[in-house]
Structures are given as C-alpha cells and as structure tokens.
C-alpha cells in the first residue's frame, strides 16, 4: 500500500492553524469505559496557542469518560451546506485532555462564543485543554498530512521557515 | 448528580430516524491501536433500516483501525451555518462495524450520494455497516435520550405505538 501522507509544508501548516483558530465546535472522541467502545459527541471548541479548548458539561457522557481516561481526539473543520463534505478540509487532533483555568479564559471565550454567556459560569461546566500528540490534516482527497504541535506554534510565532 | 436522560417517546424516536435517514456524512470514532487513543474522522454516511452505512477508503486510518477493532461510534446531525451548534439535534450511534455488500448497496447509495459515483467502484473503497448497541440522542440542551436499535426499526415498520 502506498503511503498517502504528503510531506508537511507551510501551506499545510497554515491550513491547520486556520482550522484550529476558526473552530467554534467539533466532534470529540473519547473512550467509554462502560462499554469499552469509542464514543463521539459534539462539543464547543476554542483555542489557546496550539491547544484546542473545550467547554464541557459535567452532566455529559464525554466529561465522565475523560475523568476515567483523558485520551481524546477532536475533529475540526465543518463543511458548509454546499459541495461534497469529503472534499472539505478537516483536521484531527489526537492527545490528552488536561484541566484548564475557566476563569482566566472567560473573556477570550465569550468574545468568540457570545451565546455561551448563558451558561459559561455554571458550576457544572468546565474547561479542558486538548494537548495534541499527533495532528492528522486532510485537505481533501489525496491531500493528507501528519503534523505535530510545533507545526502550529511555529506559525503562531511567525517562524514558518 | 441528577439523571439528565429523559424517557424515550415517539418524538425522540422520530427525530432519531430523521437524523439517520438524512445523514450524508458524520464523525466516526475508532480505537487507534498504535497510540491507544481514540481517533475521529469525517466519513460518508448512508443507511439501511436501523443501521448506518459507511463508505470508507482502505488508505484511511479509520479503516485500518476498524480492521484491528470493529468497535466504533458515529456522530450524526450536522448543524447548518446559523444558530448555536450545541442546540442543534444530534445523535451518537455506538456499536460495531461489519462488512457490507458494496455491490448490492450501489444503486441506493449513488441515488443519495451522486458525487461518490467518481470513486464508488474503486477497489480500495469498501462499505461497512455500523450496528448500534446504544444510541445517544441529544435534541438540544436538557433534551438527552438513550435509545436502542429497536426504537429505529419500530418507526420503520410503522409500529410507533
């Protein structure tokens, strides 16, 4: 089987940064300890540097899953209503979730997610940070890349080589 | 912690059937044996009865994951471009993937996915069926239900009580 992964270039890095920065929601995969099966749910998404931020409810299955096992993956890059959704660029961040400081992140989050003002301060909502160990970028058919977290921070600091 | 799951009613069943029948793509969670982490990817989705059908490429990570472990979860119900995506109804099917007969399903699939005519017959595309053991329906904040496969087939046969 031929290797479908292309060498990472600046165009791929810029696309990945764009997908992370513009994401407002995504699909979060977790490990369900009750069934031993994967689970996936829609979650609200923001970012800080190269990390995705997730605002999640303690009542949700995925929050309970993460308490038992912080390993997770997040799909970003939502297709619009037009065109073939499988040619729309998307990205999977795969890594581990860590607690994040909800109070400190409040202002930035509410600026990009104004509707979550209604529930941001609820005690049963928490913020977590997904620190990606691997990043799978798919720019459309035949355009697959494997990036790492440094590929995102490099662009952040203008060091795009 | 209060139980956030509502009793299943016909409205919930009808919503679940609608989400399954209108899905053209979704987010597929798999177990990645290389990292031990969950993975999630966008896949093309159809249906047959109460089962979701997935048209997947042998070059993809998720197809390799399923070959090692058929446990999977699929998120259906894509928000449009308007409104809060977290109030948009969605559903997670959790279960196991089985091989499906791509040739027999060809006509139905191409009717609902005309753009996949380009690659449907490629030898490295296969069809699998996700047989759900559990169905998590979320109709919006505070509207969570847990359904089973029979809740979908019951409606299919007009037996909605």
pLDDT digits (tens, 9 = 90+) for A110-159: 999 998 999 999 999 999 999 999 999 998 877 899 999 999 986 544 43
B41–chain A Cβ distance below 8 A for any pair: yes
| ipTM rounded to 2 decimals | 0.93
Q: Which residues of chain A lie closer than 8 angstroms to B92, CB-CB?
A: 39-41
* A38-48/B125-138 β-pairing: unpaired
| Comparison of pLDDT for B154 and B79, the residue scoring more | B79
pLDDT digits (tens, 9 = 90+) for B28-73: 999 999 999 999 999 999 999 999 999 999 989 999 999 999 999 9
Report the alpha-carbon distance of residue A152 to residue A158 in Å, rounded: 10
Predicted TM-score of the model (pTM): 0.93
Q: Which residues 106-125 of B have a C-beta within 8 angstroms of A? A: 115, 119
Report the alpha-carbon distance of residue B130 to residue B42 in Å, rounded: 15
pLDDT score at A3: 64
Report the alpha-carbon distance of residue B54 to residue B13 in Å, rounded: 22
Q: Which residues 13-32 of A have a C-beta within 8 angstroms of B? A: 24-25, 27-32
Q: Which of A52, A57, A86 to mutate to test the interface with B (most CBs of B within 10 A)?
A: A86
Report the alpha-carbon distance of residue A32 to residue B16 in Å, rounded: 21
Q: Do B81 and A80 touch (CB under 8 A)?
A: yes
Q: Average pLDDT in the A69-87 region? A: 86
Report the alpha-carbon distance of residue A88 to residue B149 in Å, rounded: 31
Q: DSSP letters along B24-91, please?
A: SEEEEEEE-TTTSSEEEEEEEEEEETTEEEEEEETTSHHHHHHHH--EEEEEE----SSS-GGGS-EE
pLDDT digits (tens, 9 = 90+) for A9-63: 999 999 999 999 999 999 999 999 999 999 999 999 999 999 999 999 998 999 9
Total residues belonging to chain A = 161
Q: Tell me the average pLDDT of chain B.
A: 91
pLDDT higher than threshold 60 for residue A96: yes
pLDDT higher than threshold 60 for residue A102: yes
């Amino acid at each position: 089987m031929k290797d479908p992964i292309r060498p990472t270039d600046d165009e791929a890095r810029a696309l990945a940064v764009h997908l992370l920065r513009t994401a407002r929601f995504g699909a979060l995969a977790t490990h369900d300890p009750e069934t031993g099966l994967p689970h996936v749910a829609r979650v609200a998404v923001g970012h800080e540097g190269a990390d995705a931020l997730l605002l999640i409810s303690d009542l949700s299955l995925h929050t309970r899953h993460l308490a038992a096992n912080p390993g997770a993956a997040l799909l970003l890059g939502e297709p619009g209503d037009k065109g073939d959704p499988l040619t729309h660029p998307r990205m999977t961040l795969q890594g581990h979730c860590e607690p994040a400081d909800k109070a400190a992140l409040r202002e930035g989050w509410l600026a990009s997610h104004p509707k979550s003002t209604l529930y941001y301060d609820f005690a049963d909502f928490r913020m977590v940070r997904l620190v990606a160990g691997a990043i799978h970028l798919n720019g459309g058919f035949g355009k697959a890349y494997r990036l790492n977290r440094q590929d995102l921070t490099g662009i952040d600091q203008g060091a795009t080589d």
